[in-house]
Amino acid sequence: MSDSELVDLCVNLAKIPQLRKFIFIVDADNPERTKKIIDQNNPFKFLGNNVYSLQIPVPEHRTNSAICIEHYYTDSELRTEKEIAGKRCRLFLGNEFDNRGISLDREYHCTAPRQCGPDKITIIDGDSKTKVTLISDPQVSLALPKTKFAEALLNEENEFSDISSENFKLIFDILKQIILPQEVTETPLTEQPAPGNAQQGISSSIST
């Protein structure tokens, strides 16, 4: 689901009374697209009718605030390799390449130079049309899909078992504030009363 689709869904759900809490979590790499459902002065926003939204907070090891959820891992963790069909695949970062898409070690080529450069922390993965290939073999992409990265983490495959999830506590701490009974003071998009205590469950949506 794109950021714009997530924002539309969040806003529309907030217009209708909900029996359970809906929590929308968005990345921090497109603040202009998500500003309608983000409160920059508070960890989350109450939009009315049991609908909440939050932008992922920036962990201490990141100096650039324009991050997505994968940036909760360190750069070295993101570069952990997984073997797929005999190939050593991994996620790549934009700052591993120059502005032409050539890696600094002159070993790889990225087909999306706009995502590359010394100031870019864009995660380049195999889920998109972008390819990262060996310069010596431009036919085979070595970019690991984010879904495969997530599966390897879940299954604790090889080196992935050593990757820490400690930074995700930042998000869970905010979710705890929303889920536990409390008085919500944020101004909703629609003038609806704050939710009562009789909740039937929790739903969450995350942008990708």
Tens-place pLDDT, residues 149-159: 999 999 999 99
Confidence of residue 127 (pLDDT cuts 50, 70, 90): confident
User: Which pTM was predicted?
Assistant: 0.83
Tens-place pLDDT, residues 86-109: 999 999 999 999 999 999 999 999
160-174: average pLDDT: 97
- Least Cα distance to 36 among 64, 58, 57, 14 occurs for 14
Pairing of strands 87-89, 92-93: unpaired
At 206 the pLDDT is 58
> How many distinct helices (H) and strands (E) make up the chain?
5, 11
Residue with tokens 């907030």: 14
Hey, is 206 helix, strand or coil? strand
At 207 the pLDDT is 57
Hey, is 141 helix, strand or coil? strand
At 2 the pLDDT is 86
